[in-house]
């Protein structure tokens, strides 16, 4: 069964990649400097940006994060569709990010009364693939994630970290710290954020800002 990638899906995926390239240039980061934070070869970033190679979903999540952005699910009304806001005990950071993206799509399918097999036919994958994606057992390819969201009337996109939900700081591979949480619950059930969480995605202390400072240090 072949994945049903139409022009709209290709354009949506290209827009994500172009946005990340623009974010890197705005942060004045070289491809090699960005690659050190992923970590991959500098050539890999070039191949992703030119479309020569499709990154894995894990790489796309990390790539976005290092530039102060975050993958999000967006409804037709332009509003974000939020997933879980807290990690499960022992859950790795990447697995949490994948679950955060999968839950709104699963909820949408259920709200539409659509079976996994029916959705699989629309996407161009098996019922088992949809089940594995929803349970976060196997990550889809990024372009498949775009199609998955598209067939449910949603879209996959990126937003600055502070706009994509609570600003989570990656701590190794074991978990996330949540700096600046005020403890108040805002709209969509998201914890309120203090000034630290609302810093510019490319400013000092942000992922892109820290990488840029490191790159400046090497040039000096």
Read off the pLDDT of residues 43-95 as tens digits, 9 standing for 90 and up.
999 999 999 999 999 999 999 999 999 999 999 999 999 999 999 999 999 99
Reported as a single tens digit per residue, the pLDDT across 125-137 is: 999 999 999 999 9
Q: Which residue has the higher pLDDT, 172 or 165?
A: 165
The CATH number of whichever domain residue 76 belongs to comes to 1.10.260.40
Burial label for 63, CB within 10 Å (0-12, 13-18, 19+), is buried
Question: How many whole angstroms separate alpha carbon 125 and alpha carbon 25?
Answer: 36
In this prediction, residue 11 carries a pLDDT of 97
Q: Is the pLDDT of residue 166 over 70?
A: no
In a domain, residue 148? The reply is yes
| Number of folded domains that form the chain | 1
Who wins on pLDDT, 44 or 178?
44
Q: Determine the structural domain holding residue 22 and report its residue range.
A: 7-215
pLDDT greater at residue 208 or residue 160: 160
Q: Is 1 inside a domain boundary?
A: no
Contact status, residue 176 vs residue 94, Cβ threshold 8 Å: no
């Amino acid at each position: 069964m072949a994945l049903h990638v139409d022009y709209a899906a290709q354009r949506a995926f290209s827009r994500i990649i172009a946005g990340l390239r623009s974010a890197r240039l705005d942060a004045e980061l070289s491809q090699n400097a960005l690659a050190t934070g992923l970590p991959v070869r500098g050539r890999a970033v070039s191949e992703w940006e030119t479309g020569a190679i499709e990154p894995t979903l894990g790489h796309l999540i990390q790539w976005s994060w290092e530039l102060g952005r975050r993958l999000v699910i967006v409804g037709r009304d332009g509003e974000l569709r939020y997933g879980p806001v807290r990690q499960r005990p022992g859950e790795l950071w990447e697995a949490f990010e994948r679950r955060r993206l999968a839950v709104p799509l699963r909820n949408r399918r259920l709200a539409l009364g659509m079976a996994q097999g029916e959705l699989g036919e629309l996407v161009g994958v098996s019922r088992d693939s949809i089940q594995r994606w929803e349970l976060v057992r196997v990550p889809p390819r990024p372009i498949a994630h775009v199609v998955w969201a598209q067939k449910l009337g949603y879209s996959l996109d990126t937003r600055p970290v502070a706009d994509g939900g609570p600003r989570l700081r990656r701590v190794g591979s074991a978990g996330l710290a949540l700096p600046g949480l005020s403890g108040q619950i805002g709209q969509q059930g998201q914890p309120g954020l203090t000034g630290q969480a609302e810093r510019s995605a490319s400013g000092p202390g942000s992922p892109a800002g820290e990488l840029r400072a490191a790159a400046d240090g090497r040039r000096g």
